């Protein structure tokens, strides 16, 4: 289901990207145990980073790995901004749905950029690639976006599903009706395959809290 182009391997030496497919999931708006786990992660962030502030957060190796990529596009890694908001302003991430919360909880815990997609909307093959600047897609906001050259993105046979810099599309999102889900973790140079595997296992465990009948259909890592 998941493959990478030679262009991607040439553009991102040392990078690894992970994909987790889970079947028979449910996606209620919220779940007490998952909400509790997410709140505990947010509390841990406040405990670990409030005193050291932004310099401590920005010095984290995982954050630095993404910062190196985002700087090329004059952007700031959004997970870094979320951690800063939680640690320094006492805020919490919204609880949109349990599948999205499972993804957010793992992002906050591990700092790894993740996108979620409804498998029913996908048309194989799903491909990992590097943008040329000609690719266009409609973002979650409904805005049409042209990818900047040199970004990492994932596409199926119908088009772009998500990119590092601009995020997920509005064609393949997780919804309340999602029963089979794909989580994609974008790993850059400096982030190991083991980190990505552990991150996907965290997402799996969070999903199983809510969806007791959920099954892991595949968990794979593609490396450059």
The domains found in the chain, sorted by start residue, are 2-30+97-223 (3.50.40.10)
Cα dist. 123→13, 80, 186 in Å?
27, 32, 20
pLDDT at position 224 is 87
d(CA 97, CA 20): 18
| Phi, psi at 165, each rounded to 5° | -75, -40
Kindly state the average pLDDT of the residues 166-170. Answer: 97
Kindly state the average pLDDT of the residues 93-122. Answer: 96
pLDDT higher than 90, residue 15: yes
The model scores a pTM over 0.95: yes
pLDDT at position 2 is 85
Asked, as a colleague might, if the bond just before 101 is cis with ω within 30 of 0, I would say: no
Kindly state the average pLDDT of the residues 165-185. Answer: 97
The pair of three-digit structure tokens given for residue 151, joined into one six-digit string: 């970004």
pLDDT at position 143 is 96
Residues 6+ apart with CB under 8 A from 114: 103, 106, 107, 183, 184, 185, 186, 199, 203
Kindly state the average pLDDT of the residues 58-83. Answer: 97
pLDDT higher than 80, residue 1: no
For residue range 39-69, list pLDDT tens digits in order: 999 999 999 999 999 999 999 999 999 999 9
Kindly state the average pLDDT of the residues 86-105. Answer: 94
pLDDT at position 94 is 85
For residue range 180-218, list pLDDT tens digits in order: 999 999 999 999 999 999 999 999 999 999 999 999 999
């Amino acid at each position: 289901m998941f493959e990478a182009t030679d262009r991607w391997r040439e553009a991102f030496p040392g990078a690894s990207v992970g994909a987790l497919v889970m079947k028979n999931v449910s996606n209620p708006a919220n779940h007490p145990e998952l909400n509790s786990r997410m709140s505990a992660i947010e509390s841990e962030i406040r405990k670990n980073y409030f005193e050291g502030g932004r310099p401590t957060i920005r010095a984290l190796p995982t954050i630095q790995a993404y910062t190196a990529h985002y700087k090329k596009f004059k952007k700031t890694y959004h997970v870094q901004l979320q951690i800063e908001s939680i640690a320094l302003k006492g805020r919490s991430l919204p609880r949109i749905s349990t599948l999205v919360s499972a993804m957010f909880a793992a992002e906050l815990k591990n700092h790894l950029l993740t996108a979620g997609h409804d498998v029913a909307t996908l048309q194989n093959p799903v491909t990992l690639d590097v943008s040329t600047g000609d690719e266009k897609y409609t973002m979650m906001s409904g805005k049409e976006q042209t990818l900047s050259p040199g970004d990492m993105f994932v596409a199926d046979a119908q088009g772009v599903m998500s990119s590092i810099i601009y995020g997920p599309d509005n064609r393949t999102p997780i919804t309340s009706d999602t029963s089979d889900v794909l989580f994609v973790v974008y790993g850059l140079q400096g982030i190991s395959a083991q980190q990505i595997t552990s991150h996907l296992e965290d997402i799996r465990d969070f999903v199983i809290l809510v969806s007791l009948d959920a099954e892991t259909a595949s968990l794979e890592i593609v490396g450059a």
